[in-house]
Structures are given as structure tokens and as C-alpha cells.
């Protein structure tokens, strides 16, 4: 299941985010790049399965950032909706580059005007990255979901220095998901150890973060274990290894509920619905001068897995305008 880990605690960096996207590996996906006009200020990958081509993670030249995780609905509740979840991220990132819309106003627009009730379960982390004030405080990032009633129900994080948070396919703050609690712990250890080492480099930190995103603690399926029971094991592992032909035994609703993919009736079927895994890993580093290093590692393209040395890695660097 997807995960996002973030911190404001690194001395050399104002903001760090590490994210895994878990998906059917054959789901048509565009790798991260600058989008075409009129949205050339947006950097991120895109889901090509729906016409809206929504994203799960993106950042703009003006510092707006959005990260989506799907919400694992309880049994019997709908897991998809008429609107694309990725389209909600688009609606924030594609705000005109000269707009001064504050994050709280964006939240009000998305929740109260556009509406989130007809969208499948999701949590969206979003906001505008800016230089902290003299006390280290900042505007912060908002978290909304398809259950957010109005702007008063928005959760705010990353306003203070030394914050560490994780978000996966449950509500924010759910401490029952080992992949989230383990991820937060490993992230805290990584930034502390890196801070303690003299002459530590950005590449070393980035590699350590990718190591965290690759921690595989998924238990093997036990003999006689039902699929419904095994699906729940996915919350134990930050990294989801390739799950092959056995997935064919799952109904589409079971897989959606487990990983909450944005698949609805009428969409073209993936080429291979039987292979599921962590598909894309992303690390975003923002230093105290607003310099962004965005690195995306694609582990699967279509049905082909990449080895560690052959993984498709793309890095983008830019400075946030108006930092």
C-alpha cells in the first residue's frame, strides 16, 4: 500500500518527503516530468488510465506540493467514485503560477465547492512550501479526505520544526499500521545519523531514504490463509514486493479495497492485472534556500521489473519561486 513519509527536522533541509506508489505494474503511467503548457510549472508523474491523467505526487515551481494516498474502505463501502482522486491533486497543482491562493482557501475550494463526497476513499497532503519564519514556523501542509466535512475539518501538519509524519492507506495518525510507524522511526534515525556525520552529502541522504522505501517486511502467505486475511498483511511492509499470479484469485473489489486503485467500470483493463508491487519511489529534498531536488525511481515499466542497478532514475533540480 502506498506510503508518504515527511519531516521538517533535517538541519540542512527545510522539508523532506519520501514516497512509494504501489500499483498494478502494467497500469499505464507517465514518469515524472514537467507537464505541458499551460501547466508547465508542474512536475510529477501521471496516471494515464483515465482521461484526466491525474497524479499521485507532484510539486510546482512555486512550491505547491500534493501527495495522494488512497483510503482502504471498510468492507461493504464503495472504494471508487465518479471523480478521479488524482484529479483532485491536479486541481491544486495546476493553480495558475501567478495565483496567490492560500492553502486554506484551496482546501475550502476543494472540499466545499468542488466536493469530495463522490470520490473514492483518499487522503490528500498538500500545501505551499515556503521559508520558515525566524521561529522556524511555517504555513504548514493540509490533510483532507473524502470524509472532510468542511474547511474546519482540515488537519494541519509540518508547521513546526522537527516534525516527522507518515501517511498510508488509512486515516492520518492511525498508529495500527506498522509500515507507517516503522517508516517514521527509520526516517527519524536516518536524518539524525546523517546530521551527526561530518561532510555528509545529499546523495548519501537520498540513498538512505531510498533504502527506507525499500524495506520489505511483508510476511509470506501462510498455508490455508485466506486472501482477505493476507491482504491485511500489506500494511506491515513499507515496500511491497512483486505479487504475481496469485493475485488472479482476488476479485477486483478485493484488490481495490486492499490497495484502493483508481479503477472503475469502463476503464480499459491493465495488460496484466496479476502483478502488483511498489511501482515508483520518490524522494524530494528542499533546502533552506528553496532549492529542490526531486528524484524518482521507476522499478516497473509495464510488466518488466528493473534490477537495482537498472532502475530508471530521473532527477530534477530547481529553486522555488518566491521562496
pTM of the shown model: 0.88
- Provide the grid cell at 131: 521559508
Identify the pLDDT of residue 302.
58
Q: Which residues contact 213 (CB under 8 A, 6 or more apart)?
A: 3, 18, 19, 20, 238, 239, 278, 281, 283
- Provide the grid cell at 46: 501521471
Cα 62–67–71 angle (5° rounding)?
A: 155
Identify the pLDDT of residue 102.
97
Give the CATH number, domain containing residue 76.
Answer: 3.60.60.10
Identify the pLDDT of residue 305.
62
Beta pairing class for 13-24 and 3-7? antiparallel
- Residue found under cell 546523517: 194
How far apart are alpha carbons 275 and 247 in whole angstroms?
7
The range of the structural domain enclosing residue 132 comes to 3-319
Identify the pLDDT of residue 72.
65
Query: How many other β-carbons are positioned within 10 Å of the β-carbon of residue 232?
Result: 11
pLDDT string in tens for the chain (323-residue length): 699 999 998 788 999 999 999 998 888 999 999 999 999 999 999 999 888 999 999 999 999 999 999 986 655 454 455 688 999 999 999 999 999 999 999 999 999 999 998 888 999 999 999 999 988 899 999 999 999 999 999 999 999 999 999 999 999 999 999 999 999 999 999 999 999 998 899 999 999 999 999 999 999 888 888 767 877 889 999 999 987 544 443 433 444 444 433 333 333 333 445 678 999 999 999 999 999 999 999 998 755 566 555 679 999 999 999 99
Cβ proximity of 139 and 128 under 8 Å: yes
User: Would you call 227 helix, strand, or coil by DSSP?
Assistant: helix
Count of domains for the chain? 1
Amino acid at each position: 500500500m502506498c506510503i508518504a513519509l515527511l519531516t521538517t527536522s533535517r538541519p540542512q533541509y527545510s522539508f523532506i518527503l519520501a514516497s512509494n506508489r504501489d500499483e498494478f505494474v502494467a497500469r499505464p503511467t507517465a514518469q515524472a516530468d514537467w507537464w505541458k503548457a499551460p501547466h508547465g510549472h508542474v512536475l510529477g508523474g501521471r496516471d494515464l488510465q483515465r482521461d484526466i491523467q491525474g497524479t499521485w505526487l507532484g510539486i510546482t515551481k512555486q512550491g505547491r506540493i500534493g501527495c495522494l494516498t488512497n483510503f482502504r474502505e471498510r468492507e461493504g463501502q464503495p472504494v471508487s467514485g465518479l471523480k478521479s482522486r488524482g484529479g483532485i491533486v491536479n486541481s491544486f497543482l495546476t493553480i495558475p503560477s501567478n495565483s496567490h491562493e492560500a492553502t486554506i482557501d484551496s482546501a475550502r475550494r476543494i472540499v466545499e465547492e468542488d466536493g469530495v463526497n463522490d470520490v473514492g476513499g483518499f487522503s490528500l497532503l498538500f500545501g505551499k512550501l515556503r521559508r520558515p519564519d525566524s521561529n522556524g514556523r511555517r504555513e504548514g501542509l493540509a490533510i483532507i479526505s473524502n470524509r472532510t466535512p468542511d474547511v474546519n475539518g482540515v488537519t494541519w501538519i509540518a508547521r513546526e520544526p522537527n516534525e516527522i509524519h507518515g501517511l498510508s492507506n488509512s486515516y492520518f495518525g492511525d498508529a495500527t499500521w506498522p509500515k507507517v510507524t516503522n517508516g517514521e522511526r527509520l526516517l527519524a534515525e536516518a536524518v539524525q545519523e546523517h546530521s551527526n556525520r561530518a561532510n555528509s552529502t545529499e546523495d548519501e541522504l537520498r540513498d538512505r531514504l531510498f533504502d527506507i522505501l525499500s524495506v520489505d517486511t511483508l510476511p509470506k502467505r501462510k498455508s490455508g490463509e485466506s486472501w482477505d486475511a493476507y491482504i491485511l498483511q500489506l500494511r506491515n511492509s513499507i515496500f511491497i514486493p512483486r505479487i504475481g499470479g496469485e493475485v488472479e484469485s482476488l476479485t477486483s473489489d478485493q484488490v481495490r479495497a486492499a490497495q484502493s486503485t483508481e479503477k472503475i467500470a469502463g476503464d480499459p483493463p491493465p495488460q496484466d492485472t496479476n502483478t502488483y508491487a511498489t511501482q515508483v519511489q520518490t524522494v524530494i529534498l528542499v533546502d533552506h534556500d528553496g532549492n529542490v531536488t526531486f528524484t524518482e525511481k521507476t522499478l516497473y515499466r509495464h510488466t518488466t521489473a528493473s534490477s537495482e542497478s537498472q532502475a530508471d532514475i530521473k532527477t530534477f533540480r530547481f529553486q522555488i519561486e518566491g521562496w
